[in-house]
């Protein structure tokens, strides 16, 4: 998991400035928009919140797991994973309820949903609801509670910045926050801004259909609830729908199967157990690093070795956080104008523009400073675009791995040979864990998993006896949560069909033919650390909604031309990168049969904000704004 990652041209018409991809942005930081600094809405966001929330602020801050909502205590023997079937519950058996009329409805109670509800409820004063399938807030962090789960973005930028008091009172305890601390933070936000009253938990959305007669969204849930909402905002997350590859015989296995993205809420004691972990993306790396010292034996079923650098986690000094709080707005303004919205400065030179000694020094420093994104984007500005620079970074990491992993067979197994062009990873002692005598690396590229047996897993090299099998096999990323809900826009067009060749939406926010619908951190959108980008988008969307309401606009809808131009721009930039050369979840290649697509805008968040601000400042150019129709009473 380790979500730190990430989340729309009218270039032909000459309206947008030339835009480079993110890793080059450091070299041209002078291009950052000055309009961005003047952008009114974000400050209004802060101001309105201050006025409305004075009472909520009196509450003491208790950032402990004890604040978590009661959770499902059922033991989970098999991984409980969303499936198409689960979402296909028919409401025909449930008595149809009268639709509840709302100004706005939000799907998802994670970082995006909470920021959006706060804007709608507390700043715009609208009648809004959030719906989430989970029984508590947290979004992806509600589900990802596996051992070692934490963000790999620095906590002080893995949070909201819209309220200085909130920022000052919440004291993160570590450089990288654990899942429980992130959840506690979001619980605190929900309480502090009085959001819970408008969140409907333990409820899955089945369908959202745009009703052309009413120009409203008709929503149905698995509880038989029905809503009619003027605006629909999704905060569904791009890494939420679990990917659990099917292996024959899983039902025979007498041990326990778990998926990291549907982790049980009760603790599991792995001491003295034989544990298999399938997958070594950022999730698998965290699980292995955390569990290796606890279990009797750990077998990592690895298909592709990855590059990982040290996280260098450490406790945080509260005074450090106070220092940021003292200049919160300029600090976050700088963060948002950086390429990936992390806490480090973008690199300004290419790796081949310096001497070999200087390169080594810079890589060594980044290794000691820690952080995967810092290593890829904070060292040199061309690691992700220039093969020679990429090879230099890859070579450095390989040499470091060789210094840690002393067993030659294991070293060969975990040494990556591909481009260093996936989501950059960092770890808390991954290669040290691999080096342990109670850890085995099973190369399932060479010897694939054939089946589960009663006792464990059989690969073509033999049977491995296990008590637990942990799937760390990632997500049906980016579009997974969109295709599991029956979204229908104008003329009954399904989102699934509109996105058959990959996701398409102007600015990543608005798909053509889906009026009054906005997707926070939707695809193809920015590829960044998410919370600061999400809150900026939530403010942008709230201003668009306010504009529509204030100006008697019934529907605001992206034009097909703007949608296509944005997709072309995203594609143009992505093709400049080495990420484009790798088959992984960003392109959809991790899911058999899924169309390979452009999922992100890789031009950096500073440039993204310019695009979105330009659109807003030109009365939402790229959208069709339709006035309210006169209706018969």
User: What does the binding site for ligand NA7 look like in residue numbers (CB under 6 A)?
Assistant: 1-3, 5, 239, 245, 278-284, 303-304, 423, 444, 472-475, 585, 590
* Cβ atoms of residues 610 and 10 within 8 Å: no
From residue 568, give the alpha-carbon distance in Å to each of 21, 328, 573, 575, 611.
14, 35, 9, 10, 14
Secondary structure class of 116 (helix, strand, coil): helix
Residue 1 or 126 having the CB closest to ligand NA7: 1
CA angle 30, 34, 36 (to 5 degrees): 120
Q: How many beta carbons lie within 10 A of that of residue 511, not counting itself?
A: 27
* Cβ atoms of residues 44 and 564 within 8 Å: no
611 phi-psi bin (left φ>0, alpha ψ -120 to 50, beta other): alpha
| Minimum separation from the CB atom of position 189 to ligand NA7 (A) | 21
Residue 262 or 400 having the CB closest to ligand NA7: 262
Residue 30 or 592 having the CB closest to ligand NA7: 592
CA gap 326, 70 in Å, rounded: 36
- 328: phi then psi, degrees, rounded to nearest 5: -60, -50
Q: How many beta carbons lie within 10 A of that of residue 253, not counting itself?
A: 20
| Minimum separation from the CB atom of position 165 to ligand NA7 (A) | 30
CA gap 95, 155 in Å, rounded: 45
To which residue do tokens 């029905």 refer? 226
* Closest residue by beta carbon to ligand NA7: 281
Question: Can you name the residues that pair with 302 across neighbouring β-strands?
Answer: 443
| Minimum separation from the CB atom of position 446 to ligand NA7 (A) | 12
| Minimum separation from the CB atom of position 418 to ligand NA7 (A) | 9
- 34: phi then psi, degrees, rounded to nearest 5: -85, -20
| Minimum separation from the CB atom of position 447 to ligand NA7 (A) | 12
Q: Which two tokens mark 320?
A: 């450090």
Residue 24 or 150 having the CB closest to ligand NA7: 150
| Minimum separation from the CB atom of position 472 to ligand NA7 (A) | 6
| Minimum separation from the CB atom of position 425 to ligand NA7 (A) | 8
Buried-exposed string 379-405: b where 16+ CB fall within 10 A, e elsewhere? bbbbbbbbeebbebbbebbbebbeebb
* Cβ atoms of residues 114 and 186 within 8 Å: yes
From residue 312, give the alpha-carbon distance in Å to each of 150, 282, 283.
13, 15, 17
CA gap 280, 472 in Å, rounded: 7
CA angle 340, 156, 291 (to 5 degrees): 90
| Minimum separation from the CB atom of position 69 to ligand NA7 (A) | 23
| Minimum separation from the CB atom of position 412 to ligand NA7 (A) | 17
| Minimum separation from the CB atom of position 217 to ligand NA7 (A) | 29
| Minimum separation from the CB atom of position 278 to ligand NA7 (A) | 5
CB-neighbour burial class of residue 444 (10 A; exposed 0-12, middle 13-18, buried 19+): buried
Question: Can you name the residues that pair with 301 across neighbouring β-strands?
Answer: 278, 442
DSSP-assigned states of every residue in 303-335: SS---EEE----B--HHHHHHHHHTHHHHHHHH
| Minimum separation from the CB atom of position 451 to ligand NA7 (A) | 13
């Amino acid at each position: 998991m380790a979500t730190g990652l990430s989340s729309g041209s009218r270039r032909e018409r000459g309206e947008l400035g030339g835009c480079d991809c993110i890793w080059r942005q450091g070299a041209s930081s002078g291009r950052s928009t000055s309009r961005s600094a003047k952008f009114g809405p974000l400050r209004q966001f802060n101001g309105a919140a201050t006025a409305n929330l004075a009472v909520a602020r009196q509450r003491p801050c208790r950032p402990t797991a004890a604040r978590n909502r009661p959770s499902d205590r059922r033991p989970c023997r098999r991984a409980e994973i969303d499936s198409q079937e689960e979402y296909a519950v028919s409401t025909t058996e449930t008595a149809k309820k009268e639709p509840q009329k709302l100004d706005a409805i939000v799907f998802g109670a994670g970082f995006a949903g909470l920021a959006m509800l706060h804007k709608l409820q507390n700043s715009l004063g609208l009648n809004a609801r959030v719906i989430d399938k989970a029984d508590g807030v947290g979004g992806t962090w509600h589900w990802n509670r596996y051992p070692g789960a934490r963000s790999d973005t620095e906590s002080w930028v893995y949070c909201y910045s819209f309220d200085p008091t909130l920022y000052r009172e919440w004291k993160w305890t570590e450089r990288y926050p654990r899942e429980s601390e992130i959840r506690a933070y979001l619980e605190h936000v929900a309480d502090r801004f009085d959001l819970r009253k408008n969140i409907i938990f333990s409820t899955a959305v089945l369908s959202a259909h745009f009703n052309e007669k009413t120009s409203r969204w008709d929503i149905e849930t698995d509880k038989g609830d029905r809503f009619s909402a003027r605006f629909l905002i999704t905060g569904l997350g791009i890494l939420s729908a679990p990917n659990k590859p099917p292996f024959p015989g899983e039902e025979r296995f007498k041990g326990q199967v778990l998926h990291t993205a549907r982790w049980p809420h009760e603790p599991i004691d792995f001491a003295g157990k034989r544990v298999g972990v399938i997958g070594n993306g950022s999730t698998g790396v965290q699980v292995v690093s955390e569990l290796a010292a606890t279990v009797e034996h750990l077998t990592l079923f690895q298909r592709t070795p990855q590059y990982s650098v040290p996280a260098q986690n450490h406790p945080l000094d509260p005074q450090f956080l106070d220092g940021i709080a003292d200049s919160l707005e300029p600090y976050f303004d700088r963060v948002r104008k950086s390429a990936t919205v992390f806490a480090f400065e973008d690199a300004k030179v290419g790796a081949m523009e310096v001497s070999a000694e200087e390169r080594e020094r810079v890589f060594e420093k980044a290794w000691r400073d820690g952080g995967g994104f810092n290593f890829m984007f904070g060292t040199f500005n061309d690691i992700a675009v220039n093969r020679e620079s990429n090879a230099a970074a890859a070579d450095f990491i390989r040499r470091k791995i060789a210094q840690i992993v002393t067993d030659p067979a294991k070293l060969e197994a975990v040494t990556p040979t591909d481009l260093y062009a996936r989501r950059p990873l960092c770890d808390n002692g991954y290669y040290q864990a691999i080096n342990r005598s109670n850890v085995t690396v099973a190369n399932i590229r060479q010897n694939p998993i054939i089946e589960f047996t009663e006792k464990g897993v059989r690969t073509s090299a033999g049977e491995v006896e296990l008590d637990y099998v942990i799937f760390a096999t990632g997500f049906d990323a980016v579009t997974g949560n969109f295709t599991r809900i029956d979204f229908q826009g104008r003329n009954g067009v399904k989102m699934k069909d509109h996105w058959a060749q990959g996701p398409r939406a102007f600015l990543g926010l608005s798909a053509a033919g889906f009026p009054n619908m906005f997707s926070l951190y939707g695809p193809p959108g920015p590829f960044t650390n998410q919370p600061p980008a999400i809150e900026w988008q939530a403010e942008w969307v709230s201003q668009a909604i306010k504009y529509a309401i204030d100006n008697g606009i019934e529907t605001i809808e992206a034009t097909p031309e703007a949608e296509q131009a944005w997709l072309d721009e995203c594609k143009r930039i992505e093709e400049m990168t080495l990420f484009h050369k790798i088959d992984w979840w960003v392109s959809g290649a991790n899911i058999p049969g899924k169309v390979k697509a452009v999922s992100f805008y890789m031009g950096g968040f500073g440039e993204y904000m310019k695009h979105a601000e330009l659109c807003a400042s030109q009365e939402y150019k790229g959208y069709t704004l339709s006035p309210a129709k006169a209706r018969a009473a």
